[in-house]
A and B are shown apart, each in its own frame.
Chain A
Amino acid sequence: MAEDRAPITRVLIIGAGIAGIQAALDIANSGYEVVLVEKEPSIGGRMLQLSETFPTLDCAQCILTPRTVEAGHHERIRLMTFSEVIAITGEIGHFTATVQRKPASVNWDVCTGCGLCQEKCPTKVASPFDRAMGKRKAIYTLSPQAVPNKPVIDREACTWFTRGKCRLCEKVCPVHAIDYEQQATTTQVEVGAVIIATGYTLYGLENLGEYGYGKIPDVVDGLAFERLLSASGPTAGKVRRPSDGKEPKQVVFIQCAGSRAPETAMPYCSKICCMYTAKHAMLYKHRVHDGTAYVFYIDVRAAGKRYEEFYHRATEEDRVIYVRGKVARVFRDGDQVVVWGSDTLSGASVEVAADMVVLAPAMVPHPETQRLAEMLGIPANEYGFLLPLDDNILPVETTRPGVFLAGAVTSPKDIPETVAQASAAAAKVLSLFAQWSGVPQAMETPVGAEAS
Chain B
Amino acid sequence: MKRIGVFICHCGINIAGTVDVKRVAEALKDYPGVVLATDYMYMCSDPGQSLIRQSIKEQNLEGVVVAACSPAMHEVTFRKASAQAGLNPYQTEIANIREQVSWVHQDDKEAATRKAIEHIKTIVEKVKYNESLIPLSLSLVKKALVIGGGIAGLQAAIDIATAGYPVVLVERSDRLGGHVGKLSGVYVNFNAARDLLESKLQAVQENPRIKVFLETEVEELGGYVGNFTAKLKHRGDNGGEPTFSEHTFGAVIVATGHSLRPLSKFGEYGGGRYPNVIDALTFERMLAPDGPTGGEIRRPSDGQVPRQVVFVQCAGSRDPEHHMPYCSKICCMYTAKQAALYRQRVPDGQAYVFYIDIRSQGRDYEEFVQSAMTEHDVLYVRGKVARLYEEDGKVIAWGADTLTGKPVEVQADLAVLATAVMPAEGAVELAQRLRIATDEHGFFSEAHPKLRPVESLTAGIFLAGTAQAPKDIPETVAQASAAAAKVLSLFSQRELVAEPTIAYVDEELCSGCGLCIPACPYQARAMHPWKHKAIVNEALCQGCGACVVACPNKACKLRNLTPSHVLAMMDAYLAEV
Contacts and interface: CB of A to CB of B under 8 A. Distances in A.
Interface stretch (A214-222, A279-287, A433-441): A433-441
B450 A446 contact: no
B403 interface: yes
Contact of A306 (B151, B191, B326): B326
B549 interface: no
B12 A113 contact: yes
Interface string A183-223: 00000000000000000000000000000000000000000
Interface stretch (B119-127, B359-367, B557-565): B359-367
B252 interface: no
A416 B475 CA distance: 10
A441 B164 contact: yes
Contact of A439 (B11, B74, B151, B164): B164
A395 B474 contact: yes
On chain A, which size bracket covers the interface?
Answer: 35 or more
B13 A119 contact: yes
B454 A308 contact: no
Nearest to A75: B80
A435 B142 contact: no
B488 interface: yes
A56 B446 CA distance: 13
A396 B478 contact: yes
Contacts of A296: none
Contact of A446 (B209, B448, B477): B209
Nearest to B364: A268
Interface string A411-448: 11001110111111111101100110011110111111
B247 A451 contact: yes
Interface residues of B, number: 94
Contacts of B74: 69
Contact of B450 (A114, A392, A416): A416
Contacts of B186: 392
B202 interface: no
Given A63-B448, A66-B72, A113 B492 contact: no
Nearest to A150: B45
B493 to A, nearest CB: 8
B55 interface: no
A391 B209 contact: no
Contact of B162 (A63, A435, A438, A446): A435
A448 to B, nearest CB: 3
A114 B484 contact: no
Contacts of B449: 55-56, 305-306, 416
Interface of A: 18, 22, 26, 29-31, 53, 55-56, 58, 63-67, 69, 73, 112-115, 119, 144, 149, 260, 262, 267-269, 271, 299-309, 312, 344-347, 381, 385, 390-396, 410-412, 415-417, 419-428, 430-431, 434-435, 438-441, 443-448, 450-452
Interface of B: 10-14, 41-42, 45-48, 72-74, 76-77, 142-143, 151, 155, 159, 162-168, 186, 188-189, 191, 196, 199-200, 208-211, 213, 232, 245, 247, 318, 320, 325-327, 329, 332, 357-367, 370, 402-403, 405, 439, 443, 448-454, 468-470, 473-475, 477-486, 488-489, 491-492
The 4 closest A-B pairs by CB, nearest first: A448-B211, A423-B482, A115-B12, A424-B481
